[in-house]
Structures are given as C-alpha cells and as structure tokens.
A = this chain, B = another copy of it.
C-alpha cells in the first residue's frame, strides 16, 4: 500500500514532466508515511530532512504547491493553523476536532447527509462548513 502510493506519485511526476529530485522523493516519502495525519508543511519539512541531506522550507512549500496544482495531492486550507495536505483525492468529508485538531477522513457512501455522517463516525458536530469552488454565473458570461 505504502510502496504503491509512493510509486504512484513518482509516476505521476514523470507523466507531468516534473523532475525527480532527492528533495521531491523525500517529500513524497514524508507525505505517504504520514498521510493519515494530514501533515502540514512543517511536519513534512521535518520528516523530509531525515531522509534527504538538504531540503529547505521554501522547497517544501514550492513542492507542495506544485503537487497540489498538478492534482497529486489536495491542499486543505486553514486560517489559524498551517494548511494541511491530503493524499485522498476522492470525494470525502474531513472531520476536524475542535480540541485536538485531528483530521479524520470519512468517505461518502451515498448522497451525503451531514448529521448522519457525524453520528456514524462517532463525532459530535459543532460547526458545518461546505464550500463549492468554481466559476460563478457572472464569470461564465464574461468572455475574458
């Protein structure tokens, strides 16, 4: 499972014409090994430094951005905390704990219904947030 995810990411890098560098390999390792924790840039930076001699924080940010933009990973944006990264690209709900900050994935079986999901996952919901990003009616009309 681990091996596959890593190879899979590396294959995707090649397909996209991105170069394979020791830094990127270290970051892929860090991402896959810690995927359940939905790691942030700092965690990845620390983990990656254990595996590659030299990795800078700038590189970690640039790489995570590159990966997100190419659809290899998904960026979960936050305000008060570091952004976190998710290897699971499928439609799913993130359950975020107010107290410990842990982020759990909960995959969507059927047309989703927030309260149901929460109950089944043993999670008490205090705040729901749903965003659909895309293009609004006005922007679709505009030519530019």
- Interface set of A (CB-CB < 8 Å, partner B): 76-80, 83, 91, 93-100, 102, 104, 111-114, 117-118, 121-140
How many copies of this chain are found per oligomer? 2
- Decide: B132 and A97 in contact? CB cutoff 8 A: no
Q: Is the interface of A mostly helix, strand, loop or mixed?
A: mixed
Shortest CB-to-CB span from A39 to chain B, Å, is 16
A132 touches B79 (CB 8 A): no
25 contacts between A and B (CB under 8 A): A77-B77, A77-B80, A79-B83, A93-B131, A94-B131, A94-B132, A95-B131, A96-B131, A96-B132, A96-B134, A97-B136, A98-B133, A99-B135, A104-B136, A111-B113, A114-B130, A121-B137, A122-B137, A122-B140, A123-B132, A124-B140, A126-B135, A127-B134, A128-B132, A130-B130
Q: Across the two chains, which residue of chain B brings its CB closest to A137?
A: B122
List of B residues within 8 angstroms of A112 by Cβ? 112-114, 130
